[in-house]
């Protein structure tokens, strides 16, 4: 594992930057790892998978030691830079298809994740704008309306509550006539992702030691013990949970099976009272696009607008400043098209985040090698799915079994192998350009 690629996310994630100073500070052991640290459990990666695995391992094994490491500050990775929808209903490819039982399992798993997060938020008083606002899915053009009608039919089949809002009723909520209609589903909480993940970090149980900004440079099994190499030391662990999503391939697993795709978001400053009344909608809602190449929008509880769109294929897992500057301009256009009355409201932050997609829409959950567990490739909806898979991985690795765990195994699989470069890059870029062109009316 030479020349391992490490995460290097940009420093401009709005959710992280608006955290209170005490939440931004290190919540880590005071000294870097040096020499050998021995532990029962090592969790690599403090996103939703790694964080919920850490909490659950500590709950199940109070007499054992758990070490959590992340290459960056926890919350600086994708789990702290997403759009904050804790999605309950199956998404995209999980929703189509005839297997109703599979869809019900996905819903049950996602709802178990929501419950797990909510219990922790309530117990520890984590302030992360958690709300039961639900999710709007908005259609701009006829193409989008057709997607919504299809989605509505599928929801009826599942017996899931929903409401179709016309342009006028939607405008009262989102303050714009840009959308023809939207499908509202009530079961998706919204939250501030960096505040949630750092809040969970602040409340890890006492048998957990955390090292932030501590990249693992090599991981191998020697005489039945996992040895993780850091810059100045090693962690020797009986068991390891990889919560490293796309970076899992850097540890020699899932190679050429996950597509590294970056998507981007921009956040405004809070609207003033005057701007808020000119906007004319309400606070605290979230809207995802009817067609996935469209735009996600949030109005936060503190009256900031957040716009997310655009995708890039990123084999090095990051983006440069020039790309983000171009995207900032595109986000500006998306915002002004919806809110011409808010021309004076600037974006304070524009950032990217990398996620992993599989060509067969499968997410992996399970044991990779003896004592090495992973769940990755959640196809862009890893807040709920990542949370529940981290929790269930911890239960499985601790010897537990449950109906929910069996359901997780039933809905998980192996991401399909991807073609080699240069065919992969050419194919993915062409496909993304085509999807963008097809849904140009929805952006
Ligand atoms: C802009 C954007 C919007 C999104 N919106 C949503 C949404 O609204 N709802 C939703 O469900 N999903 C959304 N997603 C996707 C979601 O954020 C991800 O699926 C999810 O956060 C993945 O969580 P994870 O724990 O698997 O991985 P990650 O959050 O990627 O965590 C992996 C961690 O591993 C660490 N790591 C990697 N390599 C090493 C190493 N060598 N040593 C130590 N640590 C290492 C990284 O620093 C990182 O913190 C969005 C993503 C983006 C980018």
Q: Is 353 in the pocket of ligand 1 (CB under 6 A)?
A: yes
Q: Is 240 in the pocket of ligand 1 (CB under 6 A)?
A: no
Distance 299 CA to ligand 1 centre (A): 22
Inter-residue contact 48 to 79 (CB < 8 Å)? yes
Q: Is 52 in the pocket of ligand 1 (CB under 6 A)?
A: no
pLDDT digits (tens, 9 = 90+) for 64-93: 999 999 999 999 999 999 999 999 998 767
Tell me: pLDDT of 160 over 70: yes
Tell me: pLDDT of 2 over 60: no
Please report how the helices 100-124 and 382-397 are oriented relative to each other, as an axis angle in degrees rounded to 10: 90
Tokens of 117: 């997060």
pLDDT above 90 covers what percent of the chain? 88
What is d(CA 241, CA 50) in angstroms, rounded to the nearest whole number? 7
Tell me: pLDDT of 439 over 80: no
Tell me: pLDDT of 156 over 90: yes
Give the residue-averaged pLDDT of 171-190. Answer: 98
Average pLDDT across the chain, whole number: 95
Domain ranges of the chain: 14-81+194-258+361-411
Please report which confidence band the pLDDT of residue 1 belongs to, taking 50, 70 and 90 as the band edges: low
- Nearest in space to 74 (alpha carbons), one of 231, 249, 193, 248: 193
What is d(CA 40, CA 240) in angstroms, rounded to the nearest whole number? 9
pLDDT of residue 433: 84
Q: Is 383 in the pocket of ligand 1 (CB under 6 A)?
A: yes
pLDDT digits (tens, 9 = 90+) for 289-322: 998 789 999 999 999 999 999 999 999 999 999 9
pLDDT of residue 97: 80
Which atom of ligand 1 is least distant from the CA of 265?
Answer: 1
Contacts of 275 (CB under 8 A, 6+ apart): 341, 342, 344, 345
pLDDT of residue 95: 78
Tell me: pLDDT of 383 over 90: yes
What is d(CA 22, CA 1) in angstroms, rounded to the nearest whole number? 36
By the 10 Å C-beta count (0-12 exposed, 13-18 middle, 19+ buried), 332 is classed as middle
pLDDT of residue 293: 84
pLDDT digits (tens, 9 = 90+) for 323-342: 999 999 999 999 999 999 99
pLDDT digits (tens, 9 = 90+) for 226-275: 999 999 999 999 999 999 999 999 999 999 999 999 999 999 999 999 99
Domain 14-81+194-258+361-411 has CATH 3.40.250.10: no
By the 10 Å C-beta count (0-12 exposed, 13-18 middle, 19+ buried), 4 is classed as middle
Tell me which residue has its CA closest to atom 33 in ligand 1.
Answer: 45
Inter-residue contact 71 to 215 (CB < 8 Å)? yes
pLDDT digits (tens, 9 = 90+) for 346-359: 999 999 999 999 99
Which atom of ligand 1 is least distant from the CA of 48?
Answer: 25
Q: Is 355 in the pocket of ligand 1 (CB under 6 A)?
A: yes
DSSP secondary structure letters along 199-249: HHHHT--TTEEEESS----EEEEETTEEEEE-SSEEEEEEEEEE--GGGGG
Measured CA to CA in angstroms, residue 45 lies from 49, 52, 88, 106, 305 at distances of 8, 11, 24, 24, 29
Measured CA to CA in angstroms, residue 123 lies from 119, 127, 188, 203 at distances of 6, 11, 20, 10
Task: Tell how strand 66-69 and strand 208-211 pair up.
Answer: parallel
Q: What residues are paired with 69 via a beta bridge?
A: 44, 211
Distance 354 CA to ligand 1 centre (A): 7
């Amino acid at each position: 594992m030479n020349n391992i690629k490490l995460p290097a996310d940009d420093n401009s994630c709005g959710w992280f930057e608006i955290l209170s100073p005490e939440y931004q500070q290190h919540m880590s052991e005071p000294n870097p790892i040096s020499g050998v640290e021995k532990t029962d459990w090592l969790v690599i990666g403090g996103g939703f998978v790694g964080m919920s695995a850490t909490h659950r391992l500590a709950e199940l094994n109070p007499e054992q030691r758990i070490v959590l490491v992340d290459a960056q500050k926890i919350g600086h990775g994708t789990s702290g830079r997403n759009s904050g929808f804790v999605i309950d209903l199956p998404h995209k490819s999980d929703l189509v298809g005839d297997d109703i039982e599979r869809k019900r399992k996905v819903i049950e798993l996602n709802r178990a994740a929501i419950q797990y997060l909510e219990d922790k938020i309530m117990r520890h008083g984590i302030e992360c704008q958690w709300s039961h606002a639900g999710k709007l899915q908005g259609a701009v053009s006829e193409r989008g309306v057709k997607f919504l009608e299809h989605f509505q039919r599928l929801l009826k089949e599942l017996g899931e509550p929903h409401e179709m809002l016309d342009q006028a009723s939607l405008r009262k909520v989102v303050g714009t006539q840009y959308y023809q209609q939207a499908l509202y589903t009530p079961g998706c909480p919204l939250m501030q992702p960096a505040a949630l993940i750092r809040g969970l970090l602040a409340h890890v149980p006492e048998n957990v030691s955390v090292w932030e900004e501590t990249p693992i440079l090599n991981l191998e099994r020697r005489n039945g013990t996992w040895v993780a190499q850091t810059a100045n030391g090693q962690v020797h662990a009986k068991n390891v949970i990889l919560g490293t999503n796309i970076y899992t391939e850097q540890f020699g697993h899932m190679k050429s099976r996950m597509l590294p795709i970056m998507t981007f978001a921009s956040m405004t400053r809070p609207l003033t009272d005057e701007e808020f009344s000119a906007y004319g909608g309400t606070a605290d809602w979230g809207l995802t696009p009817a067609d996935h190449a469209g735009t996600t929008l949030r109005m936060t509880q503190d009256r900031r607008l957040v716009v997310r769109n655009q995708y890039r294929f990123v084999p090095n897992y990051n983006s440069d400043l020039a790309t983000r500057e171009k995207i900032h301009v595109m986000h500006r256009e998306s915002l002004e098209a919806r809110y011409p009355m808010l021309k004076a409201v600037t974006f304070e932050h524009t950032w990217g985040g990398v996620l992993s997609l599989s060509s067969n829409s499968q997410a992996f959950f399970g044991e990779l090698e003896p004592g090495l567990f992973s769940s990755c490739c959640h196809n862009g909806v890893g807040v709920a799915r990542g949370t529940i898979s981290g929790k269930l991985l911890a239960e499985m690795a601790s010897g537990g079994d449950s109906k929910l765990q069996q359901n997780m195994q039933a809905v998980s699989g192996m991401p399909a192998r991807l073609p080699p470069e240069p065919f992969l890059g050419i194919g993915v870029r062409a496909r993304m350009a085509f999807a963008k062109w097809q849904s140009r009316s929805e952006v």
